[in-house]
Amino acid sequence: MQKSRIKLHSNVPVILANGIFPKHDMCLDILRNAKILICTDGSANQLNSLPIKPTYIIGDLDSIDKCKTFNSKIIHDKSQDNTDLEKAIEWIYSEGYRDVIILGATGLREDMSLINQFLIFKYFKKINITTVTDHFTISCIKGEKEIDSFENQLVSLIPENRAIVSSKGLKFELEKANISIDGKTISNKSKKNKFKITSSEKLLVFQSHK
């Protein structure tokens, strides 16, 4: 089985959101090794066939009796102003964590997938969100950052709105490029085991799996 490139410190909580259930080994590895696993309501149902139990379940749990089955703790937050995923992030933040890994954030409903990716921007100053999907590890940077990679890794860069971006170590280098949310900065490639990005604004970095 492929080893996760994300260091699973015992104190990094994992959220399983209610998008498409992850299939990639890297996601399942993270799921299996999570010390603290938080399910957003219905996502817990998808764990039935696996020997994995959520530590916490958050949401309005009217339709789910799995909390008993799983013996999970329940986090009640009936706010109408945010999604269950955002409730889970807020709860994690309130518990003092400053890093979180999110699985199941994309796929199925496109409205949810879209706002779930924008949550990374929203919480950037408060909590460091890493979203892992079947295709990518998605993180957010601002300023200068050196990022672990591998040769020919697919790298896509998408800003919140616009950004001035430079790169070092990509196949198509950017030199103070004024970029927006379009196709011009997707499907780039890493040349070696590290690349560097400098961005004037918050920028999503998509890195394909090995």
Contacting residues toward a second copy, per CB under 8 A? 81-83, 85-86, 106-115, 117-119, 122, 133, 135-136, 138, 156, 158, 161, 181-184, 186-187, 206
Taking the C-alpha atoms of residue 82 and residue 66, their distance in angstroms, rounded to an integer, is 23
State the minimum distance, in angstroms, from the CB of residue 188 to a second copy: 10
Q: Which is nearer to a second copy, 42 or 107 (CB)?
A: 107
Helix axes 84-94, 110-122, angle to 10 degrees: 20
Q: Which is nearer to a second copy, 8 or 181 (CB)?
A: 181
State the minimum distance, in angstroms, from the CB of residue 52 to a second copy: 24
State the minimum distance, in angstroms, from the CB of residue 85 to a second copy: 8
Q: Give every CB contact of residue 91 below 8 A, 6+ residues apart in sequence.
A: 38, 56, 58, 75, 77
State the minimum distance, in angstroms, from the CB of residue 68 to a second copy: 27
Q: Which is nearer to a second copy, 50 or 108 (CB)?
A: 108
Q: Which is nearer to a second copy, 61 or 112 (CB)?
A: 112
State the minimum distance, in angstroms, from the CB of residue 137 to a second copy: 11
Q: Which is nearer to a second copy, 81 or 151 (CB)?
A: 81
